[in-house]
Homo-oligomer: A and B are copies of this chain.
């Protein structure tokens, strides 16, 4: 590390008051100057949504004490990052940390995750970006192991940088620190949610539906994030925003359009 302190942007999808983002601020203050721009309300499941048809509010607050510049924003996690980069940060951040999310973002959840969309937006903007998630949805979750592993991962990322066009998705199993066996670099497990919408009738006789579902892991591989988490490892998945299925180009090129 040079003598210049890294400038670190922090966001999340559970909102500015979530215990998970406080854990992140506490760790990241040890590495550099911290600026927080996070949603003013929970934005779970927002995927990579951006706000086109409404204006955004951005309000300075004192959520993390006098030495942390902090704002809440009416938009999505991706909006927060875009607005931070254009209007808040005095220079391009050296690092973006999203989370710690309350709940797993392993496997296919990366696609639905607001936490990972903030990190992905950072990566698209050319910022070294990491999303952290703890596999516990509760507001009372214990982030002490998450903080230890965040420190380990961030130290390595600051030392090495990340391969171009990639970001990291780090998931921490919800067990005490002494039960965590270490970190595993993984691929995203092949899995999906099988929907079971809960069909109800409102007091006026009109139908409505609640989204519920069952997570189904279709992947027996021991090199996946789901395997790592089930076996008490922290999973580290390098993620990319180029969605091209390069391997399929040749096949489709052989078709006679």
Contact = CB atoms under 8 A, between A and B. Distances in A.
A47 B47 contact: yes
B160 A255 contact: yes
A87 interface: yes
A55 interface: yes
Count of this chain's copies in the oligomeric assembly: 2
A188 B165 CA distance: 13
Interface in A34-58: 42, 44-53, 55-58
Interface of A is mostly: mixed
A49 B47 contact: yes
A245 B163 contact: yes
A195 B53 contact: no
Contact of A50 (B47, B56, B207): B47
Contacts of A187: 242, 244, 246, 249
Contact of A208 (B57, B196, B213, B246): B57
B188 A242 contact: yes
Given A47-B48, A152-B257, A255-B156, A208 B56 contact: yes
Interface of A: 42, 44-53, 55-58, 78-79, 82-83, 85-87, 108, 110-112, 117, 120, 124-125, 152-153, 156, 159-160, 162-163, 165-166, 168, 182-183, 185-188, 190, 192, 195-197, 199-200, 206-211, 213, 236-249, 251-253, 255-257
